[in-house]
Structure 1
Amino acid sequence: MWLLEMNDTKEQLAAYSKTVDKELDALLSWWKTYAVDHAQGGFYGEVTNRNKAIAEEPKGIVLNSRILWTFSAAYLLKANKEDLAIARRAFEYLSTYFYDSLNGGFYWSLYPNGEVLDGKKQIYGQAFAIYGLSEYYKASGDGKALEMAKETFTLIEKHSFDPVHLGYIEAFDQAWGGLRDLRLSDKDLNVEKSMNTHLHIIEAYANLYCCWKDEHLQKAIKQLLFVFKTHIIIDDRLSLFFASNWHPQSTLISYGHDIEAAWLLQECAESLGDLEEITLFKKIALAIAVAVQDGVDVDGGMYYEYDPVAGNTIREKHWWPQAEAMVGFFNAYQLSGDISFLHKSIKSWAYITANLKDKEHGEWFWGRYPDGELMKENKAGFWKCPYHNGRACLEIIRRINHSTILPQT
C-alpha cells in the first residue's frame, strides 16, 4: 500500500488520517441514506449489499444502540448537525419503542412496526443501550438520556451482578426473571457468563462514568477490571465462556476480541484515572497486541478464530476484527513506539480497502472466506452496524490529529 511506501512517519500518519477521515464521511453518509426507515420509524432491520432495505426484518437493540453511539460520537468529533439529527432519531426510537416502561430496561427486538418481538433483557443489549445513551448525552446534553442510562445501570447491578463470584449473568426474561437459554446468539455457548458481555459492560460503564462520577459505578468498573485480569485474560489471551464461578467452558481464541479488548480495557482503566490500573492495562494491551499477531495473515487481514485443542484456525476474515486491528495495533504503536505496530495498523486498513470496502455501493462487506469469496450476509442487520468500522475511523482520526502521546519519530 502506498502509505507503507512513505519514508517519513509524520507524512504516513497524516495520509492515514486523511484517508480514514474520508472513509468515515462515506460510512456515515451510507447509513443516513440507506438505513433510515421513513415509513415505520427508526432504522431498517436489514439492508442488502445492493442497498435494498428489507422492511419486514425485525429491529434489534444492538443495531439501534450502536447507531445512537456512532452518530453521537461522530457529532462530537465533527460537529455535523446532520449526524446529531440521526443520533436524535435513534434516541427517540429507542426511548419510545425499545424502552420497557413497566419493567425497566430495553427489549431485545421489535417487529418492524415497533411492537415487541422478544422482550428479554440480554445484558449485552442493556450495556449497548448505556453506551449509546451516555454518548448521546455528551453530544446533546439531553438529561433524559443520562437518566435512562443511570436507571439501566441500576437494573443491571440489581438483577445481573453476581455478589459471590463477581461479574454478571448473561440474560433475563422481560420481567427480569430467570432464563434457561442465556445465549447471546446461536453460535454462543449457553453459559452464565461470557467475555463478550463483560467487555461491553465495562465499555458502557466507563462511558457512563465520563458523564456521572458515581461511587457505585466507579466500584463496578474496578471490579470488572479485576475480573478481566484475574479470570478472563489468560496468557495474554481472552477466554470466551465461563460457568458462574469463572471456570472456563471453552478453549477457543477470538482474534478480533483479543485485539479489541487490548485497547478498550486500557481506555476503561484510564477513565478511572487510577495510575496503577492504567500502568497495568497498558502492559496488558501491549502484551495482547504482541500475542495476537499470530492471527494476522501476510496480506494484513486478521483471521476469525483459533481452536488450540484441534489446532484449527478459522481463516475467515470478518469486517469487525479488521477494524479493531486498526485501533489495537495503532494503540500498541503509541505505547511502544515500535513502527512495526503502525505498519500492522496500516496493513489492516489496506486489507479493508482492497477486500471489504464496497467501492460501488458503499459500506463494507461482511467478510471473505479463506478462498477470497465474499460472504453473503447483508450490509446492515442485527449485528452489522456502523459501530466497529465507524469507531475505528473515529479512533484513528482522534489519535493522529488530537493525541499528545504519539511516539516521537
Structure 2
Amino acid sequence: MKINFCIIFFVAFSFGLNARAGWLSNEDFFYISKEKDSLLLSKEQFRTEMKTELENILSYWIRNSIDQENGGFIGKIDGNDVKYPKADKGLVLNSRILWTFSAAFIHNPKPEYKMMAQRAYSYLMKYFWDKKNGGGYWSVDYLGNPKEKHKQIYGQGFMLYGLSEYYRAFGDKAALNSAIELFKLIEKHGFDKKNGGYFEVATENWQLTDDKVITQGKTDQKKSMNTHLHIIEPYTNLYRVWKDPFLKKQLHGLLSNFTDRIIDKNTQTQILFLTDDWQARSEIISYGHDIEASWLLLETAEILHDETWIMRIKPFSIGLSNSAQKGIDTDGGMYYEIDGKHLKTQKDWWPQAEAMVGFYNSYQISKDLRYYQQSLKSWNFIKKRLLSPTGEWYWGINSENKALTNMDKIGMWKCPYHNARACMEMIRRLE
C-alpha cells in the first residue's frame, strides 16, 4: 500500500508536548495518511497509552483470576466474564501468569504483582511439577490433581520461562535450580541428538511419543516451528541469569535451526511443520508467528551479545516483518494464518500484540517510518476492536467485526502474556 507522508506543524496546546515549535522530526512523530483512522501520536503519547493498558490488563487478572476456593488461578473465564470454577488448569496458563507478574514486578515493583507471582510459583511447583519424573504436567483438574500427565516440550518451555523470570524478579535460588533442572530434562529427552532441534512431546516418564503433538497429527511431522520458537524464548531468558556454556551452545544451535531450516529463504516465512530431518511438511503461513519471531530471534542474538549473530538476524527480522505485512487487513488488524488460498479471517488477540512489537522492532532496525506506522495501526485496531469494557482483551473478532465472546478471556491458551508483554516491550522501546 502506498503511504503518503505529510509534514505537519507542531501545535503545543493540542498535544501537550514539550518540544520547540517548528517542523516535526521523523524520529519523534509519525502521521498516518489521510484515512478514517488517521492519528497523530508522539512516542511519549504512545508510551503513556501502553502504561495505562498494561495496568488495565494486570488489574483484570488480579481482580478476576484468583481461585480463592481451590488455590491458584481459575481455569476458565469466557468473553462475557462468566467464571467456570471447575475448569481444568493448564501448564501454559499458569506458567505464563508466573512470567507475566514476575516481569511486571521487575517493570514496576508493586506488592500486588509480587503476590500474584508468588501465588503462581507456589501453585505451579506444588501441583504441576512431577515429583517423580521432573517437569510439568500438561494440566491438572480444578482441585490440583494431575489430569494430562504428558510432557509437552512446548509446555516445559513456558514453565522454564516463568521460573527463570521469577528468579530474575525475586532472586529465589530454588526457582533457578528448578529452571536449570528443567533445561537439562528437555535436553536429555527432547533434543534430537542426530539432526538437531527438538521433538514435540514425551510421556509422563519422558519417553518420546507421537500422541498429543501440536503438529497437524501427521506421522512424519516430528518437529514444529512453534515448539522451537517457544524453546529459544525461555532458553534466552535463562541465559540472562545463568551464563552456562552449554546453554549458549544450544542457543546458537537454535538460531541456526531458524536461519537454516525453519525460515524459507525464498518467501521469508516460517515452515510450520517438519520431519525429524527438517523436510518441510506444511504450506501454512502463520502471520502471527512470523511477526513474533521477527523480534524474538533478534532478542536472543542481543542477549548473547553476539555481534555476528545480531547482524545475521537483522535481515531475517525485516524479511519476516515484510512477509507478515501481507496478513494485515485494511483496518490494521492482522489475520492469523493462510493455508494455500484459504485465509482464516478471524483476528485473534495475540497476533495484534506481537505485531505492535514486531513492526516497531523493524522500525528500530531500519528507521523506516512505515514500520512505525503499522505498529501504531496495530495498537489502533486493538483499541477499537479488542478491548473489553470490563478489562482484558477479547479472544478476537470474526469476519463481521464481532467480538468472540464465546471464546476465553482466561483459559488454557488465553493468558496475560502476549498483551502484557507487548505493553512492557513497547514501554521499554519507546523510551
Give the TM interval when normalised to the shorter protein: over 0.9
| Equivalent runs, 1:215-226 vs 2, <5 Å | 215-226=245-256
- Residue 315 of structure 1: aligned partner: 345
Paired residues for 1:170-249 under 5 Å: 170-184=200-214, 191-234=221-264, 235-249=267-281
Decide which of 119, 127, 130 is 1:100's aligned counterpart.
Answer: 130
In the alignment, the residues of structure 1 paired with residue 190 and residue 334 of structure 2 have an alpha-carbon distance, to the nearest angstrom, of 33
Q: Distance in 1 between matches of 2:253 and 2:365?
A: 25
Percentage of identical aligned residues: 45
Give the letter for the 2:289 counterpart.
H
Q: Give, in angstroms, the shift of residue 182 of structure 1.
A: 4.0
Amino acid at match of 1:251: E
Q: CA deviation at 1:183?
A: 1.5
Q: Aligned-pair distance for 1:339?
A: 1.1
Q: How far apart, in 2, do the equivalents of 1:315 and 1:24 lie?
A: 27
Matches within 5 A, 1:10-409: 12-184=42-214, 191-234=221-264, 235-308=267-340, 311-359=341-389, 361-375=390-404, 376-401=406-431
Query: How many equivalent pairs are there?
Result: 394
How far residue 378 of structure 1 moved from its aligned partner, in angstroms, is: 1.6
Residue 247 of structure 2: SS of its match in structure 1?
helix
Answer with 123-132 or 8-17: which moved more.
8-17
Give the TM-score taking structure 2 as reference length.
Answer: 0.89
Within 2, Cα distance between the matches of 1:384 and 1:46? 9
Specify whether residues 313 and 6 from structure 1 end up closer, same or farther in structure 2 by C-alpha distance, changes over 3 A only: farther
CA–CA distance in structure 1, aligned partners of residues 324 and 222 of structure 2 = 26
Aligned to 1:407: none
CA contact (8 A) 2:359 2:374 kept: yes
Which amino acid is 2:302 matched to?
Answer: E
Deviation at residue 189 of structure 1 after TM alignment: 5.3
- Corresponding letter in the other structure for 1:75: F
Corresponding residue SS for 2:326: helix
Change (3 A) 1:353 1:154: same
CA distance in structure 2 between the aligned counterparts of 1:240 and 1:120, rounded to whole angstroms: 22
What amino acid is aligned across from residue 48 of structure 1 in structure 2?
D
Tell me the distance in 2 between the aligned counterparts of 1:180 and 1:363: 35
Instruction: From the two aligned structures, give the one with the greater helix fraction.
Output: 1
SS across alignment from 1:117: strand
Q: Write the deviation string for residues 131-168 of structure 1: whole angstroms up to 9, x where unpaired.
A: 01000100010001100000000000000111111001
Q: Is the 8 A contact 1:133 1:149 kept in 2?
A: yes
Give TM-score scaled by structure 1 length. 0.94
Q: Secondary structure at the match of 1:253?
A: strand
Which letter maps to 2:301? A
CA distance in 1, matches of 2:403, 2:88: 24
For the 8 Å contact 1:99–1:106, the answer to whether it is kept is yes
Report the AA paired with residue 396 of structure 1.
M
Mapped to 2, the partners of 1:33 and 1:132 lie a distance apart of: 21
Return the alpha-carbon distance in structure 1 between the equivalents of residues 68 and 344 of structure 2.
39
Residue 188 of structure 1, CA deviation = 6.2
Deviations 1:234-293 (A, max 9, x none): 031001001101111110000000000000000011111111101111121112112221
Amino acid at match of 1:132: G
Distance 2:217 2:76 in 1: 22
Which stretches in structure 1 are left out of the alignment for 5+ residues?
A: 402-409
**Match of 1:210, SS?**
helix
C-alpha contact (below 8 Å) 2:287/2:323 kept by paired residues: no
Instruction: State the Cα deviation string for residues 36-89 of structure 1 (Å, max 9, x = none).
Output: 001101101101223232111100000000000000111101111210110110
